[in-house]
Amino acid sequence: MANYLLIDFGSTFTKLCAVNTEECEILGTASDFTTVETDINDGYDKALEKLYKKIDRNIKFEQVIACSSAAGGLKMAAIGLVKELTVEAAKRVCLGAGAKVDLVFSHHLNQSEVHQIIDKKIDIILLAGGSDGGNSESVIYNAEILGKLGVKIPIVFAGNKSAQDQINEIFGKYEMNGYICDNVMPNINVLNVNSAREKIREIFLKQIIEAKGIKKIENFINQVILPTPSAVLEAAKLLAEGYLDEEGLGEVVVVDIGGATTDMYSICSSTKRSDVIIQGLEEPFAKRTVEGDLGMRYSAPGIVKSLSEREINFINKEKGVDIVSEVTKRYDNVKLLPENSQDEFIDQFLAEMCAYRSMHRHCGRINEVLTPMGKVFNQVGKDLSDVGFVIGTGGVIINSKYQKEILKQTTNILHNPSELRPSDPKFLIDYDYIMAAMGLLSKINPMAALKIMKKHIRPIRGVQHETSK
Amino acid sequence: MCYKNAYKIWRDSLKTIVIGVIGADVHAVGNKIIEYTLTKSGYNVVNIGVLSSQEDFINAAIETNADMIMVSSLYGHGEIDCRGMRDKCIESGIEDILLYVGGNIVVGKQDFSEVKERFLEMGFNRIYPPGTSIDQALKDIKQDLGE
Ligand code: B12
C-alpha cells in the first residue's frame, strides 16, 4: 500500500496530510498548534490523534516526510555588491530556497552589520558579489570581516569565481563554516540560482533542522526535507508544468497571506512578446517574493504604513472604522480570531490589501518608447498578463467568505497600464491546504502529487458575493 | 587544474569594457557591431544593451571591475543623458574609470569642438564626433588601457 504521511511544521500550525499514491487520493488531513518552544512532538501527537479519528489507525505509512517553517523559518542574510545586481540576485536565491531574508547588505560590511547578523540569529549567510572575473575585492573584504568577528554560522559563497581560492583560504584561516558555490550572477544581469539554492537546502537539512529543535521528532519521521515555502514553490511549479503525459495548468500565480508575511509565487516566463526590450537582472521562471510588512496580524501595521494620511481618513469614513486601532489590536494579539462581523470585515479588508500590495511589488512594469516605426516597450520584471490561474492558499484565504474579492486584488483592478498584473485569470482555491504537502510528495511521486492537486485545488465554490461591503 | 588556472589567469588579465546605449535610445545595430569589434580585439566586453541608464552602466562596471565605460548615444539626446555621470562614478567608488562617448551624441550639425568641450567638462575622457566608427577609436582604447 502506497501511503505517505506529509507534515508541514508551520509557524503556528502543524499540518498533517495522509495520502495514497496509488489511488491519488487524500486519506485525511488534520492540524494542531506547533509546539516547537516546548517539545515539537506535543503538537504533532495531537494532530496525529486527530488524523487517526478520520482514518484507519492501522494504516502503515511507507514514508513520513516533513517541511518546516517553525521557529522563525529559515532565516538568511543576503550580501552582494551592487543593490540592483548581486544583492538582488542573492536575495532571489534565498527566497527561491524558501528562506526569510531578514538582512540584506551591499558593498563592504561594517561591524554593526556583522553584529546584526549575529544578534538576529541568522541561520545561513549567502555571500555574493562580482560577476565572474569581475570585482573580487568586495567579497574578500566581507569574508575577512565575517571571519575576524567570529561568525561561525554557515556561509554560502556564491560570488565571483575568480575569488574562490582566496575565499577558501579565509574560511580556513578563521575556521569558518563555509561552502563554495557557483556565482549567483556569473555575468551582468544573468541569474544563476541552482547551485546556491541546492547548497542552502542541503545545509538546512543537515544543520538547521537540528538547531531548531525539529530533529527530536526524527524517530517517526524519515526526513524533514524542505523549508515550507520551498515546498510550496515546488508544488506550484509541478502544477504549472505538468509531469510526463499528465498536463499541468500552464502559467500560475499563488498567493499565500499569513499573519506575518504575504508570499507570492509566479511560475511563468518573463515575457512572451517580441516587441519588448527587457531590462535589469534576469527573472527566475519560478519566482517567489515575500512581503515581511504585509500580514494579517504581526505585520498588520505595515499595511497601514503603506497608506497615506488621506487614504486612511478615506477608509475610516467610507467603512466606518478606525483602521489604525484595528491594526494595533491585531498586532497586540496575534492569536486573535474574528469574533463578529466587524472583525471579519476588517480581516477581509486587510487580506485584500495584502494581496493588492504584494502583487504590486511582485509583478513587472512596462513603459513605451516611441519611434517612427511604432511603439517599442521597455519592461522591468515579469509580465504576468497571460497567467491563466491565480491560486489562493493559506488559512486567511481558505476561510474567507469572499475569496474572490481577495484574489481579484492581484489583477489590474485600478487599470494601471504600466503594471503587468494577471489580466484575466481564473481563480482557484487550495481548499484542503495541501500545497506544501504536495511539494513534498513531488519529491517522491510527482505524478501522484500532480493528480491530487488537480483534483483538490478547485474553482471558488458556489456563488460568492461580489463584494464584502 | 593547471589548465583551468591558466584559463583563469588569461581571462582575468583581459581588460573589461562596459558598453551600451544610453537613455531612451533604441538604436541597436551599432551596439552589436561595437561588441563584435571589441571582443575580436581581445577585450572582455560587457554589453548592457539599449535603453540603459547611467546607473545601469555604473552598476555593471562595479560588478565586473571594468576599466572603461563606453557610452553610445545615437538619437540626439546624449548630452542630457550623460550629464552627471562622472559624479555618480565618483560617488560609487569608480572615480578613475575611463568614460568614452560616441555615436550621434547631439542633434544636428553643431560645432563639434564646442560639444567636445562640454563633454570634457562633464568628465568624459574621449568624445567622438558623428561618423567615427569603433575601429577608428581602437588606437585610443589601446593607448588609454596601457597596452
Ligand atoms: C535604423 C535607424 C533607426 C531605427 C532603429 C532600429 C533599431 N532598433 O536599431 C528606428 C526607426 C527605430 C529609429 C528611430 C529613431 N531615430 Co533613428 N536612425 C536609424 C538610422 C537610419 C540607422 C542607424 C544604424 O543602425 N546605423 C548603423 C550602425 C552600424 O551605425 P551607428 O548606429 O551609427 O553606430 C556606429 C557608430 O555610430 C559608432 N558608435 C556608436 N557609438 C559609439 C561610441 C563610441 C565611443 C565610438 C567611438 C563610436 C560609436 O560605432 C557604431 C558601429 O560602427 C540612422 C541614420 C544613419 N544612417 O545612421 C537614424 C538616426 C540615428 N535616427 C535618428 C533619429 C532622430 C531617430 C528618432 C528620434 C526619430 C524620431 N523622430 O522618432 C527615433 C529615436 C528612437 C529612439 N527612442 O531611440 C537620427 C539621429 C539624429 C541626431 N542624433 O542628430 C539619425 C542619425 C537619422 C538622421 N540623420 O536624422 N532610427
Encode pLDDT of A187-209 as tens digits: 989 999 999 999 999 998 887 77
3-state secondary structure A37-87: CCCHHHHHHHHHHHHHHHCCCCCCCCEEEEEECCCCCCEEEEECCCHHHHH
B4 lies in a domain? no
B75, B105, B138: residue to mutate for ligand 1 pocket, most atoms within 8 A of CB = B75
Q: Which three cell numbers stand for residue A261?
A: 508575511
List the pLDDT tens digit at each of the 147 positions of chain B: 456 566 666 666 789 999 999 998 999 999 999 999 999 999 999 999 999 999 999 999 999 999 999 999 999 889 989 998 998 898 888 989 999 999 999 887 778 999 999 999 999 999 999 999 999 999 999 999 986
Contact indicator for B85, B36 with CB cutoff of 8 Å: no
pLDDT at A467: 45
Asked if B26 and A135 come within 8 Å (Cβ–Cβ), the reply is no
Ligand 1 midpoint to CA A43 (Å): 68
Residue of B26, B56, B65 lying closest to A135 (CB–CB): B65
Specify the CATH number of the domain A3-70+213-225. 3.30.420.40
Of A81, A376, A378, nearest to B63 by CB-CB distance is A81
Note whether A85 contacts B12, CB cutoff 8 Å. no
DSSP B15-28: -EEEEEEBTT----
Residue B27 sits in a domain whose CATH number is 3.40.50.280
Beta strands in A210-291 (DSSP E): 223-227, 252-257, 262-267, 276-279, 286-291
Domain A74-207 carries which CATH code?
3.40.50.261
pLDDT value for A162: 93
Domain count for chain B, please give it: 1
In a domain, B1, yes or no: no
Alpha helices in A174-308 (DSSP H): 194-203, 209-211, 228-241, 300-305
Low-confidence spans in chain A with pLDDT less than 70: 1, 211-213, 215-220, 371-374, 462-469
Given CB atoms, is B44 within the 8 Å cutoff of chain A? yes
Residue B77 lies in a domain: yes
B9 inside domain: no
Q: What pTM does this model have?
A: 0.87
Kindly state whether B8 is in contact with chain A, defined as any CB-CB distance less than 8 angstroms.
Answer: yes
The domain limits of chain A are 3-70+213-225, 74-207, 231-459
Instruction: With a threshold of 0.90, tell me whether the complex ipTM lies above it.
Output: no
Can you give the pLDDT at residue A469? Answer: 38
Gap between the Cα atoms of B28 and B25, Å rounded: 9
For residue B121, the enclosing domain spans: 15-145
Nearest residue on chain A to B55, judged by CA atoms? Answer: A84
Q: What are phi and psi of A182, to 5 degrees?
A: -70, 155
Cell numbers representing residue A353 in the block = 490589501
Q: Residue A423's pLDDT is what?
A: 95
B82 lines ligand 1 (CB under 6 A): no
Q: Which residues contact B114 (CB under 8 A, 6 or more apart)?
A: none
Do the domain assignments include residue B84? Answer: yes
In a domain, B6, yes or no: no
